[in-house]
Amino acid sequence: MIYWGGNPAECHPRHFTKYTIMQKGKYTQNGRKDRTMVLVDIRETPSAKAANLFLQIRPGKDFELITALRALIKGQRVNEDAVNETGLPLSKLEELVAKMKAARFGVIFFGMGLSMTRGKHMNSAAVLMLAAEMNAFTKFVAMPMRGHGNVTGADVVMRYTTGYPFGVNLCRGYPRFNPGEFSTVDLLVRGDVDACLVLGADPGATMPQPGIDHLAKIPTIVLDPKVTHTSRLARVHITTAATGVSAPGTVYRMDEIPLPLRPALKSPYPTDEEVVRRIREAVKRRPAWLPGRNGKAVM
Q: What is the pLDDT of residue 149?
A: 74
- 237-255 pLDDT, tens digit each: 999 999 889 999 899 988 8
Beta-carbon contacts of residue 114 (< 8 Å; ≥ 6 apart): 4, 5, 6, 62, 123, 124, 127
The answer to whether the CB of 110 falls within 8 A of the CB of 170 is: no
Q: What is the pLDDT of residue 286?
A: 86
User: pTM above 0.95?
Assistant: no
Q: Domain extents for the chain?
A: 2-144, 151-164+192-298
- In this prediction, residue 121 has a pLDDT band, given cuts at 50, 70 and 90, of confident
Phi/psi of residue 265, each to 5°?
-130, 160
Task: State how beta strands 168-169 and 176-177 pair.
Answer: antiparallel
The CATH number for 2-144, chosen from 3.40.228.10, 3.40.190.10, 3.40.1160.10, 3.20.20.140, is 3.40.228.10
On the question of pLDDT at 291 being above 70, the answer is no
**Which range has the worst mean pLDDT, 152-166, 167-181, 187-201, 285-299?**
285-299
Task: State how beta strands 139-144 and 220-224 pair.
Answer: unpaired
- 186-225 pLDDT, tens digit each: 999 999 999 999 998 899 988 889 999 999 999 999 999 9
Q: What is the pLDDT of residue 87?
A: 94
Please list the residues that pair with 278 across neighbouring strands.
none
- Range 151-164+192-298: architecture per CATH: 3-Layer(aba) Sandwich (3.40)
The answer to whether the CB of 111 falls within 8 A of the CB of 4 is: yes
The answer to whether the CB of 64 falls within 8 A of the CB of 3 is: no
- pLDDT > 90: percent of the chain: 70
Distances (CA, A) of 99 to 63, 93, 104, 106, 139: 20, 10, 10, 10, 13
